[in-house]
Amino acid sequence: MKIVTYNVNGLRPRVSQFGSLLKLLDSLDADIICFQETKLSRQEMRADLARAEGYESFFSCTRTSDKGRTGYSGVATFCRVKSAFSSEEVALPLAAEEGFTGLLEHFSGDVSRRDDSVVEGLEDFSVDELLKVDREGRCIITDHGHFVLFNVYGPRAECDDTERIQFKFNFFKILQRRWDCLLRRGRRVFVVGDLNIAPGAIDRCDAGPEFEKNEFRKWFRSLLMGNGGQFFDVFREKHPERREAYTCWPTNSGAEEFNYGTRIDHILIAGLCFHRDENQGGHSFVSCHVKECDILLQFKRWKPGNTPRWKGGRNVKLEGSDHVPVYMSLVEISNIQPHNTPPLSTRYCPQVYGCQQTLVSMLVKRKSVEEFRCGGSSSFSKENTVLQSCNLLGKRSPHSCSSSSLNLTHEGVFSTPAEAPECSDKESSCNSPCTDINGAKLLASVEEKKQKARHSHWSQLSLKSFFQTSNSDNSSSLFADNKLNQANFSNPCCESNEIIGESGECDAQKEWDLQQSVPMQEENGIDGSQLLENEKNVAIVEWQRIQQLMQNSIPLCKGHKEPCVSRVVKKAGPNLGRQFYVCARAEGPASNPEANCGYFKWTASKLTRKR
């Protein structure tokens, strides 16, 4: 049996990277695959993200509405099985549970009933504390008979964020209580996932003097057998002296290039081995049943041969997660009693299956909205008639607008039954023949012109567009074929105090056409093509001057004498929004001259942030 843990940093981009969920799962080639940081809410779960042929899946999604936590975290466990029913495979769990407090499955909103569903060992915690740690979708538990598997995504907390630090303490404290309760019953416990804790200095690229004093690292080491705990750190048991064995790298500094990362993705095991002879010394589950445990470095975003950052590689987008998978192979794992897929499987999830809507269901749901707007009720057949009438209304000629208005009023769309079936003052033209067809054409032309102008205003402009002469024919042709029947009809493109004359053109428009009709080359006495060429040359020289000025303003790093890159402080504090320069090379160990030299310089001014 093979178990894999992988922080995918978003399940959607990983599925897109591999082409399908099935290809992603098959690339890991494991019986149990545990994903963290899926970044899926329950409403976003679809069959192409949750279901794959030959696999049963179990999800825990974030339920919190806190700012910055929606669509965040999330874990999923995929089990490769041959049969979902009456199966003896260990990979198919006997039971599954979302969260680790026992409240998510039973919580129904009734405060008086919540305490009844709290699992053993967690009675000392309040319901609010338990729900708070479980609402972020950070754990899924599956019982595989021989062992209980915890798929965990540990919270991250900055050193100055006291609220998240306390949350992280509560999270692991409650989680450990659940582990201890199972171990007292004689169960084996497997813990896999991104715990966001590097246990020792050997597991961190830049471990400083204060590294070992971190409270979470002390807690992690207290779990291990060497310090009186009950768990084995399986990777370190198999590779006790291996250095630079990292599973996560910062994405903004290009640290993967020089393998400058940390090991925070773990596989922990607690419990006895399957052998019954207790007189034989040296027996443990790891030594007896774990064949190998290692890091799948082939999933790194940075590949040998990629262009270095300071040679243009910064602009190359690297596909993949900022983590890599960790796997464990087990031996001598026998089958278990026949069992079926647990109810928590996405096989039974209505968000994945059974929620496909038809056109009829969409119209039925819309019925309540229409009733609210109209203040009355109508049958489905009447609403369908109204929709058909609305479609026909756009196809009819202006002469038939009177009958269309009456029909829609009769169906209760534009007026309540208490209203008289007459057009309002704004629609009084519907009762008389629509004779002003030229005026309607004029309004349509003006509106089309406005839309084009608006589109041109917001679209990206090129340098060439600034040197093109405007065409006067386009502005004058708008009113060339439109003559009005009423003398007091105002032109929408004119000012409010200007009235259209008999020719259908306003005075301002005539002046503009007159000015545009004079060729540019006649005004200046220069050939048009020569003038355009001169202006292009001036623009090129000016752009070169701006580029040179920008290059001169960018400092050179002291280590490599290369142009730096600018960054902006995004962390809340007195320097929020302030710009600074750093070395452009990828982050790496100080002993490597090819890595980032550590140059830093503030810019002269602070950027103004948009609100």
- The residue annotated as part of the active site, out of 55, 72, 153, 327, is 153
594 is in an annotated binding site: no
CB 135 within 8 A of CB 41: no
CB 44 within 8 A of CB 59: no
596 is in an annotated binding site: no
End-to-end CA distance of the chain: 54
- Residue 194 bears catalytic tag: yes
CB 231 within 8 A of CB 191: yes
Tell me the torsion sign for CA atoms 64, 69, 71, 76. negative
- The residue annotated as part of the active site, out of 6, 55, 144, 194, is 194
Residues 6+ apart with CB under 8 A from 549: none
Q: Which helix (H) or strand (E) covers residue 402, if one does?
A: helix 401-410
Tell me the residue type at 79. Answer: C
- The residue annotated as part of the active site, out of 144, 266, 323, 560, is 323
- How many CB atoms are located within 10 Å of the residue 438 CB? 15
Pairwise CA distance, residues 588 & 255, whole Å: 6
Pairwise CA distance, residues 542 & 546, whole Å: 6
CA 256, chain centre distance (Å): 23
Pairwise CA distance, residues 303 & 320, whole Å: 11
CB 595 within 8 A of CB 260: yes
Tell me the residue type at 271. Answer: G
37 is in an annotated binding site: yes
315 is in an annotated binding site: no
- Helix H, strand E, coil C: the string for 161-228 is CHHHHHHHHHHHHHHHHHHHHHHHCCCCEEEEEECCCCCCHHHECCCCCCHHHCHHHHHHHHCEHHHC
- Residue 353 bears catalytic tag: no
7 is in an annotated binding site: yes
DSSP 8-state secondary structure symbol assigned to residue 453:
H
Q: Which helix (H) or strand (E) covers residue 137, if one does?
A: none
- Residue 260 bears catalytic tag: no
471 is in an annotated binding site: no
Q: From the annotation, which residues make up the binding site?
A: 7, 37, 194, 196, 322-323
| Active centre residues (catalytic) | 153, 194, 323
Q: From the annotation, which residues make up the binding site for Mg(2+)?
A: 7, 37, 194, 196, 322-323
